[in-house]
Amino acid sequence: MRVMIESPAAPQLDSLCTLLSSCAETADAHWPADSLQRCAEEGVLRWFLPEDQDGLDWSEADLLRGYLRLSAACLTTTFIITQATGALKRIASAGSRELCDRWLPPLLSGERICTLGISHLTTSRRHLAKPALAARRAQIDDPQSDFILDGYSAWVTGAAHADLMVTGAQLEDETQILVALPTELPGVTVEPPARLVGLSGSDTGPVRLGGVRVPYSHVLDGPTTNVMQGATGAKTGGLQTSALAIGLSSAAIELLETESVRRGELSQAAAELAAERDRLTSSLLALAEGDAACSADELRAGANSLVLRATQAALAAAKGAGYAQAHPAGRWCRQALFFLVWSCPAQVLQANLCELAGMSE
């Protein structure tokens, strides 16, 4: 049995990151089963749960410190972990003893896998007249009736590997439910994952639900209006998205710093980017500790800007060699584009567009 990583300062986190980093190129293209299993064995998923649910109960700031390290080592594995822990936290906090007893032990050990398919309630398909995923009661007059789900969730990371998916659906009266949906239920179809610009190894793709009957015992929240509002573990614009962007920036900045030892002309750019990364990291941790110098959206916009510039600076410094497939700088550039589209609330999207258009907001 492996030793659990009990804090972000634990030396085992260094060795885990070295291992993840050595597999990061492959993980960008192929589902990183071994990296994920190793993370589970070293207790990474337990960081997010309280002790009375077999968790290690890390503080919000420590969780972000953990994410900063993991994402600098392997963005794909870390991104998959964000979706799994988002689902885990929702299951753990819903208060169903039956669901927790059945699912938490195998999910925490890595024997089973869970994921999230909730973006159709937050940042995806919101302009469509009809909800992407609709729910109705199997027995209209029974408040504890099972629900029948029809429709699809467009983006579900690792759907083909997942045993359980936390997803949401809208009822006719526009209230919403959040459910823990076993993927083996009749009527669940996992479509082939999309070939992506980066992070294809996350095996993200659509899941279609055709008359899927979800037992009432699997309802985590609702029916209520805006079930995602205030949801822990599964909301947009959370600090984790910024942590991953800053983490990926760190990988690129480290390459610049290493190169600048031999090439003095790179030193100033490396130092400027590192100072910006440090300022954003301080804001991230301050926000986690409730000491907000900026809003979460402002931080995210800053982190998006940094990750795009830092990864391209690493590519520029690596020159033609960096443009070869085998060099990490090109992969970092592709992966940095992900932050322009992942869980981006409207204000962040607007800030990104203003920056790209060279407009001051």
Ligand X SMILES: Cc1cc2nc3c(=O)[nH]c(=O)nc-3n(C[C@H](O)[C@H](O)[C@H](O)COP(=O)(O)OP(=O)(O)OC[C@H]3O[C@@H](n4cnc5c(N)ncnc54)[C@H](O)[C@@H]3O)c2cc1C
Paired sense of beta strands 176-182 and 114-117, if any:
unpaired
Q: For the residues of 170-202, what is the DSSP string, one character each?
A: E-TTS-EEEEEEETTSTTEEEPPPPP-SS-GGG
Paired sense of beta strands 205-214 and 219-224, if any:
unpaired
Among 76, 78, 119, 305, binds ligand X (CB under 6 A): 119
Which of 154, 273 has the CB closer to ligand X? 154
Which of 80, 273 has the CB closer to ligand X? 80
Distance from CA of residue 319 to its chain's centroid?
31
Which of 73, 156 has the CB closer to ligand X? 156
Q: For the residues of 299-347, what is the DSSP string, one character each?
A: HHHHHHHHHHHHHHHHHHHHHHHHTSTTSHHHHHHHHHHGGGTTT--HH
> Using CB under 6 A, which of the segments 48-56, 153-161, 218-226, 272-280 binds ligand X?
153-161
Which of 67, 155 has the CB closer to ligand X? 155
Among 47, 58, 147, 155, binds ligand X (CB under 6 A): 155
Q: For the residues of 206-230, what is the DSSP string, one character each?
A: EEEEEEEEE-GGGEEEEEESSTTTT
In angstroms, the CA 194 to CA 263 distance is 40
Q: Determine, following the binding rule CB under 6 A, whether residue 341 of this chain makes contact with ligand X.
A: yes
User: Which residues is 45 bridged to in the sheet?
Assistant: none
Among 97, 127, 130, 195, binds ligand X (CB under 6 A): 127
Q: Determine, following the binding rule CB under 6 A, whether residue 31 of this chain makes contact with ligand X.
A: no
Which positions from 38 through 67 interact with ligand X, judged by CB under 6 A?
A: none
Among 55, 66, 110, 117, binds ligand X (CB under 6 A): 117
Which of 76, 281 has the CB closer to ligand X? 76
Find the radius of gyration of the CA atoms of the chain. Answer: 21
Q: Determine, following the binding rule CB under 6 A, whether residue 84 of this chain makes contact with ligand X.
A: no
Residues forming contacts to ligand X in the complex (CB under 6 A) are 83, 115-119, 123-127, 154-157, 196, 199, 202, 204, 341-343
